[in-house]
Amino acid sequence: MKKSLFLFAALALAGTALGQKKAASLSRPKLVVGIVVDQMRYDYLYRYWTKYGNDGFKRLLGQGFSYENTHYNYVPTYTGPGHASIYTGTTPSMHGIVGNNWFVREEGKGTYVTEDKTVQAVGGTALAGQMSPRHMLTSTITDELRLATNFQSKVIGVCIKDRGSILPAGHAANAAYWYDGANGAFITSTFYQNALPEWVTKFNSQQRAAQYLDQPWTTLLPITEYTESSPDDVAWESAFKGETKPVFPHDLPRLSAAAPAAVQGALKAEGEKAPVATPRNLDLIRSTPFGNSLTADFALEAIRAEQLGQRGQTDFLALSFSSTDYVGHQFGTTAIETEDTYLRLDRDIARVLAYLDKTVGKGQVLVFLSADHAAAQSPNFMLEHHLPAGSVGPGLMRDSIQQALVQKHGPGKWVLSYENQQVYLNRPLIAQQKLDLRKVQDEVVDIAGTLSGVNRAIAADDLQKSHWESGMLMYLENGFFPKRSGDVMVVLEPGWLESYSYPVNKGTTHGSMNNYDTHVPLLFWGWHVKHGESSAPAKITDAAATLARFLHIQEPNGCTGTPLLEVLK
Ligand SMILES: [Zn+2]
């Protein structure tokens, strides 16, 4: 009798424990903060390790879970597709974001990834503000959180770049804010709301961008301590407009005094338009680490004013730091400027984490950190050290193919556009001349294959009719969306890149399927995350699937990733 009573009691206890476990597994974090660092290579976590403080990257790695072997699984590896893929859990073949720009065949002209002329700017210029996520064809994990909670969760996107804010925040966001250099303000569009909230107006009135540019950019540590980087004055770095050499200190007050006259190299590589002329060049902050500091300032204000994670619902802050990308493009991967930008970002991330501890509570916030793509080493840096590298000019690629087609088929504009290592052929002209599109694609494959730096080229027709689980063609297929992609995809040799300053070859870029462009950090930290790391292969598309499991919500509707199991155990 005693024994069975004991058994009964034990079973009851076990039942309670089970019940508690079930109840615990249905709880959710108060807030999710997604941090995307634009152009962050995986190895930057360790390259600058000894110079990081204890409360930024080291805190995330020391307490969180790191997927050390996380890669992009498509090309082209650019900012728009990268942000879309992290948050939709799928690739351009499904979400449709095939580049930062692409050629629209029906309109005979290019479009920009978040361009939307049906909406109006709110708080800034039309050029910067007519933006929305309408080109993105699937839902995001942030959309799914809104749907799962009957729109009671708040979702807010924050980034200097429009696309780094808009695509992560998704279609059903409460708000997305991005930076307009014309007035040095965070702005939005009528897609989200018709007027800026009072807290945003107040933040903008403080003119923090201008204040950051009132001081020169000097190194955070004594410059002699940047032993992880190349010397300050090297030929492969681009100086700021108005500088004679790309060296510290960068005199930001003087450099920002002049209005922007033309699109600078870094913006050009990103497919962005020239900012409008203004009395002071407040756009300059993008290409300094202070663009990240400004982003962090704004994010903290969003947490405070919108009471994110403090309302009894799971909220989501989609936060992206973009200055790393502008600085990386301009100075390259081994520059003191790049190292300094990461050391300062480390301090900004520490500031965000400390603020989350204070306002939402320790262990109450689920944070993940990744990157939208990584970056190649500067070709001239590589060549100086006898490593294989080179660059091609997109204009040269387009013109070489165009000329070869004229020689074959006579005069005509055969190549309409060359974007994202893709050739867009003049299909109406091909039809009019009664040529076979597939045959012309094959001709371009042969022509492109003879150009220097080209590994191989693939006809779109091949991508559409086959399926690849791995290898070079898998990357191309995952990046291919028939309505928006080109007729021929060009794959460059490792170390080679498309240089917008060709043949001068300054700074660097990204976009390829090579490891230096695809290998990115993926860290989870905070709510229900135990410390650990995994070297198991992870795809960037697994991030959203894993978040869906953490939150017990539906994965995004086009999700092709799978949950990462070790971090969920
Ligand atoms: Zn970039």
Ligand 1 centroid to Cα of residue 375, in Å, is 8
Among the listed residues 341, 372, 358, 340, the one whose alpha carbon sits nearest the alpha carbon of residue 300:
358
Can you tell me the distance from the alpha carbon of 48 to that of 205, in angstroms, rounded to the nearest whole number?
A: 36
Residue 398's CATH number: 3.30.1360.150
433 shares its domain with 539: no
Residue 64 inside a domain? The answer is: yes
What does the pLDDT read at residue 265?
A: 55
Cβ 60 vs Cβ 390: under 8 Å? no
The 10 Å Cβ neighbour count of residue 331 is 30
> Which tokens in the block code for residue 461?
């027709």
Among the listed residues 55, 82, 77, the one whose alpha carbon sits nearest the alpha carbon of residue 343:
55
Ligand 1 centroid to Cα of residue 408, in Å, is 36
Can you tell me the distance from the alpha carbon of 397 to that of 393, in angstroms, rounded to the nearest whole number?
A: 6
Ligand 1 centroid to Cα of residue 311, in Å, is 36
Residue 325 inside a domain? The answer is: yes
> Which tokens in the block code for residue 58?
């080291």
183 shares its domain with 245: yes
Ligand 1 centroid to Cα of residue 290, in Å, is 17
In the chain, the amino acid numbered 183 is N
435 shares its domain with 564: no
In the chain, the amino acid numbered 372 is D
Can you tell me the distance from the alpha carbon of 502 to that of 392, in angstroms, rounded to the nearest whole number?
A: 7
355 shares its domain with 398: no
47 shares its domain with 64: yes
Can you tell me the distance from the alpha carbon of 37 to that of 46, in angstroms, rounded to the nearest whole number?
A: 15
Can you tell me the distance from the alpha carbon of 22 to that of 10, in angstroms, rounded to the nearest whole number?
A: 18
Among the listed residues 265, 373, 386, the one whose alpha carbon sits nearest the alpha carbon of residue 327:
265
pLDDT in tens, 501-552: 777 789 999 999 999 999 999 999 999 999 999 999 999 999 999 999 999 9
In the chain, the amino acid numbered 30 is K
Ligand 1 centroid to Cα of residue 328, in Å, is 8
Cβ 542 vs Cβ 561: under 8 Å? yes
Can you tell me the distance from the alpha carbon of 218 to that of 288, in angstroms, rounded to the nearest whole number?
A: 11
Ligand 1 centroid to Cα of residue 78, in Å, is 6
Residue 287 carries which DSSP code? G
Ligand 1 centroid to Cα of residue 307, in Å, is 32
249 shares its domain with 377: yes
Angstrom distances, CA of residue 530 to CA of 260, 310, 346, 535: 48, 23, 22, 16
306 shares its domain with 188: yes
297 shares its domain with 150: yes
Ligand 1 centroid to Cα of residue 558, in Å, is 25
Look at the chain and report how many structural domains it folds into. 2
Residue 10 inside a domain? The answer is: no
Residue 500 inside a domain? The answer is: no
Residue 435 inside a domain? The answer is: yes
Place of tokens 């050390």: 68
pLDDT in tens, 288-313: 999 999 999 999 999 999 999 999 99
Tell me: cis bond preceding 482? Omega within 30 of 0 counts: no
Sign of the CA dihedral with 129 first, then 134, 138, and 143 last: positive
| Residue 421 CA neighbour count, 13 Å, CB half | 31
Which residues of the chain are modeled with pLDDT < 50?
A: 1-21, 263
Task: Write out the E strands in 18-108.
Answer: 31-37, 65-67, 70-71, 101-104
Residue 70's CATH number: 3.40.720.10
What does the pLDDT read at residue 23?
A: 55
**Overall size of the chain counted in residues:** 569
259 shares its domain with 355: yes
Ligand 1 centroid to Cα of residue 165, in Å, is 15
What does the pLDDT read at residue 277?
A: 66
Residue 510 inside a domain? The answer is: no
Place of tokens 């916030």: 365
Ligand 1 centroid to Cα of residue 324, in Å, is 9
What does the pLDDT read at residue 543?
A: 98
Ligand 1 centroid to Cα of residue 325, in Å, is 5
What does the pLDDT read at residue 260?
A: 58
What does the pLDDT read at residue 26?
A: 65
Percent share of the chain, pLDDT over 90: 89
Ligand 1 centroid to Cα of residue 297, in Å, is 23
Residue 193 inside a domain? The answer is: yes
356: helix, coil or strand? helix
Can you tell me the distance from the alpha carbon of 133 to that of 178, in angstroms, rounded to the nearest whole number?
A: 13
Cβ 460 vs Cβ 480: under 8 Å? yes
Our answer to whether residue 324 is catalytic in this structure is no
| Residue 292 CA neighbour count, 13 Å, CB half | 29
> Which tokens in the block code for residue 121?
């700017």
pLDDT in tens, 22-34: 555 569 999 999 9
Cβ 276 vs Cβ 282: under 8 Å? no
Ligand 1 centroid to Cα of residue 163, in Å, is 12
299 shares its domain with 433: no
Residue 501 inside a domain? The answer is: no
529 shares its domain with 489: no
Can you tell me the distance from the alpha carbon of 288 to that of 256, in angstroms, rounded to the nearest whole number?
A: 12
What does the pLDDT read at residue 259?
A: 63
> Which tokens in the block code for residue 25?
């597994």
159 shares its domain with 258: yes
Give the contacts of 350 (CB within 8 A, at least 6 positions apart). Answer: 53, 55, 56, 59
Q: Which of 77, 79, 188, 546 is catalytic?
A: 79
Ligand 1 centroid to Cα of residue 62, in Å, is 29
In the chain, the amino acid numbered 68 is E
Can you tell me the distance from the alpha carbon of 171 to that of 517, in angstroms, rounded to the nearest whole number?
A: 28
Ligand 1 centroid to Cα of residue 266, in Å, is 8
Radius of gyration of the chain (CA): 24
Range of 150's domain? Answer: 31-382+515-568
Among the listed residues 561, 568, 529, 525, the one whose alpha carbon sits nearest the alpha carbon of residue 544:
561
Place of tokens 């992009």: 72
Can you tell me the distance from the alpha carbon of 441 to that of 458, in angstroms, rounded to the nearest whole number?
A: 8
Can you tell me the distance from the alpha carbon of 134 to that of 96, in angstroms, rounded to the nearest whole number?
A: 10
